[in-house]
């Protein structure tokens, strides 16, 4: 049976561990893998522009000796002739061996996976998921810290629209690492992500006031949100977290997603200080690597580029071996021999609609909406994970 | 001498038969052909957007191990710097081994073939021809029915702007199959196509009133146009064709070509019923496959996708092996050993112009307009086949 | 240490000679080189549209068996998300083995070379340089005349914005060939290019009045500018150059660069006659080949296409083997064994700015502006070669 990679939940922890062993091998043989996928074609369907992700996937497929056919501009495509996504996917997947899809709508990749007889990789479906970015983030942590469990990671910046932080928080929780969220005020992590993080067995959510960080944040009352298996180990008591007594492993910085900021958020700039040399002098960050999904605008000072802790460009480079490993596995060139996750139970729900206006089901003619029931007993859309109406 | 594929007339029936034997082989060895065209490059020049056709050609070239360089957006190209098509073609053909051209103007592919020293494939020249689509249509019929002669095919929908129906009608006539045209009122098959169909030796044109099809079309007077070697065999007498006594082999559906509908046609919707499950219950369609050049909008109900007679997605998939066979042949990798068509006689006509405002000669600086004389003694443009002024 | 090709000055004369020997070999083995760069990827970053140059580079890389990942439309790229060129270059160069950059700003390629750990090729940086075009121009002269020294070449047309003429004039001077500039009035060669040409050891600049060319230019006073090691050998005395007593080796024609003509130049057409059959009947051009960087608009009559002296389409075709040779050399597949140029001395200049508003440093956050001192003692920007403020 074919496997897809639409959500980070589609792979078990064990599978991710094995995938990274394959990625290690790919990285050491970068220019020697060109016989692996000779004769195979990737369909690279970027119906929302994303140069970096597209080039990273195309580089990965080419390093493996496969070929790529590309749509990088939805406007210029006959997909504009009124065709449904399901039809487009069926046609392109009949020309190719694996499909990489970027789309503006949440759930689009799951829909594609339902219609394509070949493996589908989600390269970003609106504000929903971008799971290969999460793989790269985890792989960067593993490459520098040697492990993915027992880490302390700060998520920093726009945690509302910066969707990469959502998947990363969940994945770190699954692997047994802790996350401290320091959000731009008004751009805090959404409730549904918080719920899912706090639902991870052993993890609790704690609102904290940051102390001992005035040299970084200025005096007075910056607040954070801690997801941890052991909150007290964070030098945390009575609602105060003493950052000057904590050793962080990484700070993951995001830019304000200006293209997603609606009117409600205005055009305000960041009130959080940028990560610069002075910022990194704080003792919490002595051993912390600085990560960023890129593109960076002004949230990280260019002077940090020359600091060995500034790891964001290496992080981007790692996207190629990680995606090579993923493609090789999905096309059956690498075997895992570890347990896959148990698929969640889904069932047809006719007569109901997804409540998410950004969901692909809001406009698509897909009649067979699938639902699953989350731990709290609510029926959710199997495509975008929002509540059903 | 190089061969081009600009019109379906460029290949003899025997050559098309052999080409499909090659396509059969390509299809069975889809991922094993990547040594065939190593070192060769296709220029994929899509000066009018067409994602599906472009991806199908690029997949075919990649399956063969060749490489592709692409222009998929005329606006972004230096072709916008005022260069003639002839110059662009000469340059791109000097970089490549075979050229695939999509263009907005009729006759553009013939012009390109005249200037390029390498084989040129017409991937659609305005409203004129789209011959590889016709190859795919024929190959889909042969794949399901085992032959291309003695078939009964209904062409259904917009037969005026749906150019794929024009070439298909002519090709089916050449192979000895019959065609019944059921057009959206106002979008009937144009006169010059009817003339060419009726000029095929043995074929006669008959206007008919459809009977026995009220469950499909509703009561009263739907009309059709029959091109047949034996019209009476269609349960046809006194101007009435009893559809309920006919076994059709295929119904070929087209969408309203809204992007080509001018003001004269308004924005009217279709008066023809969509092909749905109920439609296919009519006894004429018991063994009929449903074909469509895609993209499909609403002329075929999605429920038909699950009916084994709904063959349009397979039809699209067959585009890859058919184009692999075509490219291999034109680049000398496959030999035919059957007779090619005798080229029609053409001669220079100076001092005259093509009467077709959509012809590439209307704007190009090509001074050497060629003409040929059709069976009825009229001088026609050798590029777009319209009358000369 | 990696080599870049950002300026024609980056290669010594000896290196260019050896490169062309490699190009000869590439041309004779065009379809047999596909094992040379297996496993290697070129990043083709065209942030300003340029179809011809892009396709030529992509064809070259594909002929060598390498792969290409492409950005051909800056608008559709996440580079529009406010990222600096330096960041974009660092990321794309981490996916690839060699980078080809086209950019709107002068100095962009030098900036890219400073940030990329891989070889960078300048495919045109605004109005500054386009050195691979110069290689093609030189290679076309060598292919037809057998040498690059002792030639007499006329540069004809827009010599102000036609940047390819700037590099060519300098390169011909370096190789010991003479150049006669016949410019569209108002579009004469800029002062800084004249200075650099006249600074070549042995070369002097002479303003001349053209005589004996009335059949070409009409009666009365067309003027030219001669860069020569021996001006008198051009049948030149008392300010008059008798064109009817000169044998030219080539006439290099450029179009009016309408997209770069600002308000100051208006929208005037050319006052120079086009190169046509009658033009070429003049005895100065009996053995002269006609070159053009293309696209051609109306400055060369299409009738010249059929004249064996019309060499511009062959010139374009030679771009593929020349670029194959360049890529192979930069990626270490071909060794030169001749002396490279001595790099000019550059040093950091803080607190000053480049005076050129079109320079990449005018907007980039690159803090480490480098300067060099030209022969006349002026400090110049190491990116765009203009004076520093």
Give the β-pairing of B204-211 and B223-228: antiparallel
DSSP C168-179: HHHHHHHHT-EE
CB proximity list for A226: less than 8 A, separation 6 or greater:
A178, A179, A180, A181, A205, A206, A207, A208, A234, A236, A241
Query: pTM for this structure?
Result: 0.95
> C121 and C54, same structural domain?
yes
* Structure tokens belonging to residue A189: 């992590």
Identify the chains in contact with B, defined as 3+ C-beta pairs within 8 A.
Answer: A, C
Q: How confident is the model at residue A127 (pLDDT cuts 50, 70, 90)?
A: confident
Q: How confident is the model at residue A11 (pLDDT cuts 50, 70, 90)?
A: very high
Summarize the confidence of residues B130-149 as an average pLDDT: 98
How many inter-chain contacts (A to B, CB under 8 Å) are there?
Answer: 73
**Mean pLDDT estimate for chain C:** 91
Kind and range of the H or E run holding A89: helix A85-95
Cross-chain residue pair A296–C43, CB shorter than 8 Å: no
Q: Specify the pLDDT at position A183.
A: 95
- Domain containing C349 equals 345-389
pLDDT tens readout for residues A335-363: 989 999 998 888 887 777 788 889 988 76
CA B66, CA C65: separation in Å to the nearest integer? Answer: 10
CA B176, CA C386: separation in Å to the nearest integer? Answer: 73
> B213 and B168, same structural domain?
yes
CA C182, CA C190: separation in Å to the nearest integer? Answer: 13
Residues of B in contact with A80 (CB under 8 A): 49
Identify the chains in contact with C, defined as 3+ C-beta pairs within 8 A.
Answer: A, B
Say if B159 falls within a structural domain: yes
Cross-chain residue pair C32–B38, CB shorter than 8 Å: no
Say if A337 falls within a structural domain: no
Cross-chain residue pair A87–B55, CB shorter than 8 Å: no
How many inter-chain contacts (A to C, CB under 8 Å) are there?
Answer: 73
Say if B300 falls within a structural domain: no
Q: Specify the pLDDT at position B76.
A: 46
Q: Specify the pLDDT at position A2.
A: 95
Residue of C nearest to A29 (CA): C39
Cross-chain residue pair A73–C78, CB shorter than 8 Å: no
Residues of A in contact with C77 (CB under 8 A): 49, 51
Q: Specify the pLDDT at position B365.
A: 60
CATH number at residue B204: 3.40.50
> B182 and B60, same structural domain?
no
E-strand stretches of C30-128: 41-46, 67-71, 98-103, 120-125
> B258 and B157, same structural domain?
yes
Q: Is the pLDDT of residue C364 over 70?
A: no
Say if B136 falls within a structural domain: no
How many inter-chain contacts (B to C, CB under 8 Å) are there?
Answer: 72
pLDDT tens readout for residues A214-240: 889 877 779 999 999 999 999 998 889
> C282 and C156, same structural domain?
yes
Q: Specify the pLDDT at position B389.
A: 77
Say if C83 falls within a structural domain: yes
Cross-chain residue pair C76–A316, CB shorter than 8 Å: no
Q: Specify the pLDDT at position A380.
A: 87
Summarize the confidence of residues B28-38 as an average pLDDT: 95
Q: Specify the pLDDT at position C148.
A: 98
Q: Specify the pLDDT at position A197.
A: 94
Q: How confident is the model at residue C262 (pLDDT cuts 50, 70, 90)?
A: low
> C266 and C325, same structural domain?
no
3-class secondary structure, A310? strand
pLDDT tens readout for residues A297-337: 889 999 999 999 999 999 999 999 999 999 999 999 999 89
Residues of A in contact with C88 (CB under 8 A): 295
Closest approach of C296 to chain B, Cα-based (Å): 6
CATH number at residue A45: 3.40.50.1370
To 10 degrees, the CA torsion angle through B188, B190, B195, B197?
A: -60
Summarize the confidence of residues C18-47 as an average pLDDT: 96
Residue of A nearest to B47 (CA): A76
CA B128, CA B359: separation in Å to the nearest integer? Answer: 9
> A111 and A189, same structural domain?
no
Residue of C nearest to A293 (CA): C91
Is the Cβ–Cβ distance between C178 and C232 less than 8 Å? no
Say if C215 falls within a structural domain: yes
> C110 and C14, same structural domain?
yes
- The proportion of chain C whose per-residue pLDDT surpasses 70, expressed as a percent, equals 93
Closest approach of B238 to chain A, Cα-based (Å): 42
Is the Cβ–Cβ distance between C224 and C241 less than 8 Å? yes
Q: Is the pLDDT of residue A81 over 80?
A: no
Residues of B in contact with C52 (CB under 8 A): 78, 91
Q: Specify the pLDDT at position C83.
A: 85
Which residue in the set C67, C91, C95 is minimally distant from A294, CB to CB? C91
Q: Is the pLDDT of residue B174 over 90?
A: yes
CA A265, CA A262: separation in Å to the nearest integer? Answer: 6
Cross-chain residue pair B82–C295, CB shorter than 8 Å: yes
Say if A116 falls within a structural domain: yes
> A157 and A124, same structural domain?
no
Q: Looking at A110-119, B47-56, C355-364, which range is the least confident one?
A: C355-364
Is the Cβ–Cβ distance between B267 and B261 less than 8 Å? yes
Residue of B nearest to A366 (CA): B302
Which of A30, A51, A311 is most worth mutating to test chain C (most C CB atoms within 10 A of its CB)?
A51
Q: Which residue has the tokens 């490219």?
A: B327
Residues of C in contact with B76 (CB under 8 A): 49, 51, 72-73
Q: How confident is the model at residue A366 (pLDDT cuts 50, 70, 90)?
A: low
> A233 and A164, same structural domain?
yes
> C126 and C20, same structural domain?
yes
ipTM of the complex: 0.93
Phi and psi at B154, nearest 5°, equal -95, 130
Q: Is the pLDDT of residue B90 over 70?
A: yes
Packed helices B319-330 and B51-63: angle between N→C axes, nearest 10 degrees: 60
Q: Specify the pLDDT at position C76.
A: 46
> B277 and B173, same structural domain?
yes
Domains in chain A: how many in total? Answer: 3
CA A197, CA A182: separation in Å to the nearest integer? Answer: 15
| Euclidean distance between the first and the last CA atom of chain C, given in angstroms as a whole number | 32
Kind and range of the H or E run holding C21: helix C13-28
Summarize the confidence of residues A99-126 as an average pLDDT: 95
- The proportion of chain A whose per-residue pLDDT surpasses 90, expressed as a percent, equals 70
Say if B212 falls within a structural domain: yes
**Vertex C373: Cα angle to C370 and C378 (nearest 5):** 115
Residue of C nearest to A320 (CA): C95
Q: Specify the pLDDT at position B267.
A: 47
In DSSP terms, which residues pair with C348 in a beta bridge? C370
Kind and range of the H or E run holding A121: strand A120-125
pLDDT tens readout for residues A31-69: 999 999 999 999 999 998 888 999 999 999 999 999 999
CA A115, CA A94: separation in Å to the nearest integer? Answer: 11
Closest approach of A379 to chain B, Cα-based (Å): 27
């Amino acid at each position: 049976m074919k496997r897809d990679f639409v959500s980070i939940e589609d792979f078990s922890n064990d599978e991710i561990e094995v995938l990274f062993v394959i990625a290690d091998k790919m990285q050491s043989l970068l220019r020697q893998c060109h016989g692996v996928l000779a004769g195979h074609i990737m369909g690279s369907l970027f119906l929302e522009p994303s140069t970096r992700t597209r080039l990273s996937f195309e580089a990965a497929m080419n390093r493996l000796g496969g070929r790529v056919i590309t749509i990088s501009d939805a406007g210029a495509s006959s997909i504009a002739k009124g065709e449904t996504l399901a039809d487009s996917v069926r046609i392109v997947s009949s020309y190719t061996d694996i499909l990489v899809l970027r789309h503006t709508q949440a759930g689009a990749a799951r829909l594609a996976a339902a219609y394509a007889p070949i493996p589908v990789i989600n390269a970003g479906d609106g504000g929903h998921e971008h799971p290969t970015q999460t793989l790269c983030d985890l792989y960067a942590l593993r490459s520098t810290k040697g492990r993915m469990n027992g880490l302390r990671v700060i998520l920093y910046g726009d945690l509302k629209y910066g969707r990469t932080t959502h998947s990363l928080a969940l994945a770190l929780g699954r692997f047994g690492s802790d996350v401290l969220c320091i959000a731009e005020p008004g751009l805090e992590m959404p409730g549904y992500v918080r719920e899912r993080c706090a639902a991870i067995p052993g993890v609790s959510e704690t609102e904290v006031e940051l102390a001992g960080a005035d040299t970084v944040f200025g005096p007075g009352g910056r607040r954070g949100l801690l997801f941890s298996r052991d909150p007290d180990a964070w030098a945390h008591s009575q609602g105060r977290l003493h950052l000057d007594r904590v050793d962080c492993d990484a700070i993951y910085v995001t830019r304000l997603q200006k293209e997603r900021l609606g009117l409600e958020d205005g055009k305000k700039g960041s009130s959080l200080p940028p990560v610069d040399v002075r910022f990194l002098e704080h003792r919490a960050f002595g051993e912390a690597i600085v990560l960023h999904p890129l593109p960076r605008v002004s949230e990280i000072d260019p002077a940090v580029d020359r600091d060995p802790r500034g790891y964001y460009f290496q992080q981007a480079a790692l996207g190629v071996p990680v995606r090579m490993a993923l493609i090789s596995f999905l096309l059956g060139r690498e075997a895992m021999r570890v347990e896959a996750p148990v698929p969640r139970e889904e069932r047809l729900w006719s007569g109901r609609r997804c409540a998410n206006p950004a969901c692909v089901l809001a406009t698509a003619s897909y009649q067979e909406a699938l639902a699953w029931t989350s731990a709290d007993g609510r029926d959710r859309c199997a495509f975008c994970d929002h509540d059903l109406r």
